[in-house]
Copies of this chain bind each other. A is one copy, B any other.
């Protein structure tokens, strides 16, 4: 270990993006590739400085495509790898996000969302990539996405993102936005032993992939990382359990698509985290990310005024917490979904709730802002009139 402190244990007044960078270092990340972009640049700027201090490498690539490709390469070379960008970069990465999924590559992708579409307003936070991160690449697949509401969670959920990526061999998104990325607040970094850090399993041995099952296990196959004599065959063409390309057997195609999806869905209870506080409530506000703080404030206000209002915040947004939503819907009268976009997760939430309770979407006063709690309350009063 070098002179750099790996874990900056202590209390800091820290920008969310820097907390994310520190989370990556704390989780043992030693390879980061990235391309500058507002409002995510601080993540890579910081890591460019910090990584060499802890023995890691930072590569500024020629573009975002090279960023994700080299990060995937690094992951196959055995490193914990991360790349960080914002919407335009996520859009460019889509093809190779699919590659990471199809090859079951552990990878953390930080998306500090900005107001879009397209170039939009780079420094304004708007949770506009909520579905993009899960469905933006072609074909059928499943990723994991975590949504922080504060600089503290920028740290905590980055650590968790690595944990899940390594445990399940899957790309995990930290789905922040400009608002929380640039927000400064108290961040408490614990000691190393308090962090839950996991590294991928690798095969026990054998130098012929035909003797191993390197892919398509719903129980997560050990990962035959490069350079250790595993003679791994890695392709994102349709392949079988050994990783061997197969472009003709429909049964293999079926497994190629389904197994990596089911791998995640089968472990959804371990992956999904939802902050729920709605016992006794008849109205529940469902939200995620920074809007969650508006929701909590609004719920306090509403309760103070005698409205039995609860609160559900999706910390894990993908895999989608369908059962958790169903449970809410079946125990309350009215769900109000708060999103500061035009309602990206709303159809997914509604699909699980509409059978059991009333449900409405409530956007902010102005897109690109998080809702004013007073506004939420006023609108709810109108809705229930």
A366 on the interface (CB 8 Å rule)? yes
Report B-chain residues with C-beta under 8 Å of the C-beta of A150. none
Measured CA separation A351–B95 after assembly (Å): 29
Q: Which residue of B lies closest to A256 (CB)?
A: B120
Report B-chain residues with C-beta under 8 Å of the C-beta of A379. none
* Cβ–Cβ contact A118 & B98, under 8 A: yes
Which of A13-21, A212-220, A231-239, A266-274 contacts the other chain?
A231-239
Give chain A interface residues in 118-146, CB to chain B under 8 Å.
Answer: 118-124, 126, 128-129, 131-132, 135-141
A84 on the interface (CB 8 Å rule)? no
A99 on the interface (CB 8 Å rule)? yes
Measured CA separation A247–B122 after assembly (Å): 8
Which of A51-59, A162-170, A340-348 contacts the other chain?
A340-348
A91, A250, A261: which has the most chain B beta carbons within 10 Å? A91
Could you tell me the distance in whole angstroms from the C-beta of A122 to the nearest C-beta in chain B?
8
Known: A237-B120, A238-B121. A366 touches B254 (CB 8 A): yes
Sample of 16 further A-B pairs with CB below 8 A, known A119-B236, A355-B355: A91-B97, A103-B118, A116-B138, A116-B139, A116-B257, A117-B236, A123-B247, A132-B136, A135-B344, A140-B341, A140-B367, A346-B351, A347-B347, A347-B348, A348-B351, A351-B354
* Cβ–Cβ contact B120 & A238, under 8 A: yes
Chain A, residues 85-101, CB within 8 Å of chain B (1/0): the string is 01110111011011101
A301 on the interface (CB 8 Å rule)? no
Q: Which residues of A contact B (CB under 8 A)?
A: 65, 86-88, 90-92, 94-95, 97-99, 101-103, 113-124, 126, 128-129, 131-132, 135-141, 235-238, 247, 250-251, 253-254, 256-258, 261, 341-342, 344, 346-348, 350-351, 353-355, 366-369
Measured CA separation A92–B102 after assembly (Å): 17
Copies of this subunit: 2
* Cβ–Cβ contact A87 & B120, under 8 A: no
Report B-chain residues with C-beta under 8 Å of the C-beta of A253. 115, 120-121, 124, 366-368
Measured CA separation A281–B124 after assembly (Å): 50
* Cβ–Cβ contact A342 & B140, under 8 A: yes
A114, A117, A131, A368: which has the most chain B beta carbons within 10 Å? A117
Report B-chain residues with C-beta under 8 Å of the C-beta of A86. 138
* Cβ–Cβ contact B95 & A92, under 8 A: yes
* Cβ–Cβ contact A119 & B135, under 8 A: no
* Cβ–Cβ contact A136 & B136, under 8 A: yes
Which 4 A/B pairs are nearest by Cβ-Cβ distance? A116-B139, A87-B138, A118-B236, A117-B139
Known: A94-B91, A238-B115, A258-B367. A131 touches B135 (CB 8 A): yes
* Cβ–Cβ contact A116 & B140, under 8 A: yes
* Cβ–Cβ contact A138 & B121, under 8 A: no
16 CB < 8 A contacts A-B = A88-B98, A91-B98, A91-B138, A95-B118, A99-B117, A99-B118, A114-B138, A116-B138, A117-B138, A126-B139, A131-B135, A132-B135, A132-B138, A135-B344, A351-B354, A355-B355
